[in-house]
């Protein structure tokens, strides 16, 4: 069963990012939780699958800067939840995924 969670994005970069036409995204932030290996990660070179990201790769930060991946932490099998944002965008994450709140 998929639990429905509604989240309101911050105005600015989060709102702009959520207007993307991709169906699943990772929007950076603090380390924690997990997304599926087929989740799309924004890099300076376009979107890549989470499962293809490796130590040393570059990824985009929420503020538009670039970060280098310093660790990859396989999570094993976990329950996955589909999160629907207020604008209808969706992503799939584990229950312990960290989010920025107001």
pTM of the entire predicted model: 0.55
Q: How many domains does the chain have?
A: 1
What CATH code is carried by the domain that includes residue 75?
2.170.16
Q: What are 66-95's pLDDT values in tens digits?
A: 889 988 888 788 888 888 878 888 788 887
Which structural domain, as residue segments, surrounds residue 78?
5-93
Task: Tell me if 100 is assigned to some domain.
Answer: no
Task: Tell me if 102 is assigned to some domain.
Answer: no
Task: Tell me if 75 is assigned to some domain.
Answer: yes
Task: Tell me if 72 is assigned to some domain.
Answer: yes
Task: Tell me if 71 is assigned to some domain.
Answer: yes
Burial 66-76 (b: 16+ CB within 10 A, else e): eeeeeeeeeee
Average pLDDT over residues 1-6: 59
Q: Which pLDDT does position 71 carry in this prediction?
A: 84
Give the separation between CA 72 and CA 10, rounded to whole angstroms. Answer: 27
């Amino acid at each position: 069963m998929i639990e429905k969670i509604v989240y309101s994005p911050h105005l600015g970069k989060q709102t702009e990012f959520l207007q993307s036409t991709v169906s699943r995204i990772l929007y950076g932030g603090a380390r924690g939780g997990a997304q599926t290996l087929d989740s799309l990660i924004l890099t300076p070179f376009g979107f890549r699958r989470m499962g293809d990201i490796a130590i040393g790769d570059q990824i985009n930060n929420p503020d538009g800067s670039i970060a280098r991946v310093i660790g990859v932490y396989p999570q094993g099998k976990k329950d996955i939840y589909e999160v629907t944002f207020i604008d209808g965008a969706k992503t799939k994450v584990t229950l312990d995924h960290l989010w920025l709140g107001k």
